[in-house]
Amino acid sequence: MPTIQIEGRDSYEVAEGTKLVLALEDNGVDILHRCGGNTKCTTCRVEVVDGDAGPVGEAEASLLQAKGILESNIRLSCQIRVHNDLTVKPVMTVSSSGLEPGNRPQD
């Protein structure tokens, strides 16, 4: 099983193929996902510090570009299926933003 290391926090083993946003939320990280994991809002973005998060799909690439997010290590956690060990740093959280997280994304 892949291991997700949250920068400044613990690490967690997750089932291969799990959406990163769900792996974070299910392990106590208060990640935002205002659009419910539908590639519309960018609030679930993470910085991939280490590891291979897989390819960026068209919808994710288009949204990131439209929002002016051009760093290659910034990804939407709702669009990452975990297949490898990763170290990530959440960019937006409930506690840092004061926003409601949003509807739980689908598996």
Q: What is the pLDDT of residues 27-61, one digit of tens each?
A: 999 999 999 999 999 999 999 999 999 999 999 99
42 lies in which domain range?
Answer: 3-96
Where residue 76 sits, what CATH number does that domain have? 3.10.20.30
Cα gap 2→40, rounded to integer Å = 27
Residue 19 carries which side chain, given as an amino acid letter? K
Whether residue 102 lies inside any domain: the answer is: no
Whether residue 49 lies inside any domain: the answer is: yes
Whether residue 101 lies inside any domain: the answer is: no
The answer to whether the beta carbons of residues 32 and 101 sit under 8 Å apart is yes
Confidence of residue 14 (pLDDT cuts 50, 70, 90): very high
Residue 20, SS3 per DSSP: helix
Whether residue 106 lies inside any domain: the answer is: no
| pTM (predicted TM-score) | 0.95
Whether residue 11 lies inside any domain: the answer is: yes
- Give the total number of structural domains in the chain: 1
Cα gap 41→66, rounded to integer Å = 11
